[in-house]
Amino acid sequence: MTPQKPESETLSPENLIALFERKEALLTGHFRLSSGLHSERYLQCAKILQYPEIAERIGAALAQEFSDARPECVVGPAIGGIVIAQEVGRALGVRAIFAERESGSMTLRRGFAVEKGERALVVEDVITTGGSAREVVDALGEMGAEVIGVGSIIDRSGGRAEFGVPFKSLARLEAPAFTEAECPLCQRGELVYKPGSRKS
């Protein structure tokens, strides 16, 4: 197999979306998102982040958005936020951990912990409703950490995601999402696919 050549262009929002398209990570069809909503467009970030040199560039770009806020740790919601949190942590020179869902709620496991007052940055791959990231923000706050922001590679929330802290993304994608009852694709009888990581 030929080694993957690094992508050399500037990581502007337009170039980032084009990169998703080139790597066949921006899919078109009828999808059930991790949020439960339905959409005709799906971002499979794992297909982008499988290339370490691309993941490193994306992580460095996202880290730059928050460098002035001086985060002391980066936290990603499992599974989608794990790889990008690691790369953002690498770029910032701080540790990177991840939260997992246990008994229906996001929490830290595997011996991970945050200290009281520790400045934490929450990082996700794609934000649609922001539900998982918001749960992590709340959980870290309850543990005594100071959440300084939320970052994502792609924001497909249409500007509706709110976290009570600064939110920044590298690119926005206009991709309407619908409840199952309102989904025009369901109404046309099109088969729905669920390619994401959350199974329930």
| Residue spans per domain, the chain | 13-187
Does the pLDDT value for residue 198 go beyond 50?
Answer: yes
Residue type, 199: K
Does the pLDDT value for residue 50 go beyond 60?
Answer: yes
Mean pLDDT of 187-193: 90
13-36 core/surface letters (b: 16 or more CB in 10 A; e: else): eeebbebbeebebbbeebbbbbbe
Three-class secondary structure of residue 62 per DSSP: helix
- The predicted structure's pLDDT at residue 1: 47
- Tell whether pTM > 0.75: yes
CATH architecture of 13-187: 3-Layer(aba) Sandwich (3.40)
| Mean pLDDT of the residues in the chain | 90
Dmax (CA) of the chain: 52
CA 104 to centroid of chain Cα atoms: 19
Does the pLDDT value for residue 197 go beyond 60?
Answer: no
User: Which of 4-8, 69-73, 91-95, 116-120 has the least mean pLDDT?
Assistant: 4-8
Does the pLDDT value for residue 117 go beyond 80?
Answer: yes
Does the pLDDT value for residue 7 go beyond 50?
Answer: no
Residue 64: φ, ψ to 5°: -60, -30
